Amino acid sequence: MISRRKWPRSLKIEIALISYYLGIEVKQRDDGTFMSQEAYAKEVLKTFNMENCNPISIPIEMEKKLSRHIKEGLVDQTLFRSLVGSLRYLTYTRPDILCAVGLVSRYMENPTTYHFKVAKRILCIAKKKVQVKFMKSDDQVADIFPKPLKREVFEKLRNRLGMRE
């Protein structure tokens, strides 16, 4: 990590004042800082003429399989790569689509119309709003796994998980 003193003057940015940077919106309130890409997602939806798509929850249909050997027409690689690149950028604030975007990215060399439809389906998820619930760090039970804790805190979280000695 670079300390604040080592930043060149031209790169100094007051993080507290940032509200929109590289497609990421930052909202700062008393109860925390929230990041989203809602405006960027709307821009991508507009680019691919999908403003009126229905928001969905599941990125890829379970019974459908992606394969290189799908016998459908090919689509423009540049257009497909643009869509997948936009989806990849959305994964910074939407980890729920990360796996699906990774699967679709495998077909950048010879994308078919089916691959393009699947990628557009993933984009429909971006239209759905994610609800983030604030949780005090004292109540985050998952903290028991990645970091060292005081014995009392560890025991409290362990009990909340229903684990025993």
User: How far is residue 19's CA from residue 46's CA, in Å, rounded to a whole number?
Assistant: 22
The residue type of 1 is M
Per-residue pLDDT at 10: 52
Phi, psi of 32 (to 5 degrees): 150, 180
User: How far is residue 23's CA from residue 37's CA, in Å, rounded to a whole number?
Assistant: 6
Summarize pLDDT for 73-105 with one digit per residue, the tens.
889 999 999 999 999 998 888 888 888 899 999
Whether the Cβ atoms of residue 56 and residue 121 lie closer than 8 Å to each other: yes
Sketch the domain layout of the chain as residue ranges: 36-127, 135-165
Whether the Cβ atoms of residue 119 and residue 83 lie closer than 8 Å to each other: yes
Q: How far apart are the first and last CA of the chain?
A: 38
Global pTM reads 0.63
pLDDT tens for the 165 residues of the chain, in order: 444 445 455 544 555 556 767 778 877 777 777 778 888 888 898 999 988 888 887 777 766 777 787 788 889 999 999 999 999 998 888 888 888 899 999 999 889 999 999 999 898 887 776 555 566 666 666 666 666 777 887 788 778 777 766
Q: Is 105 helix (H, G, I), strand (E, B) or coil?
A: helix
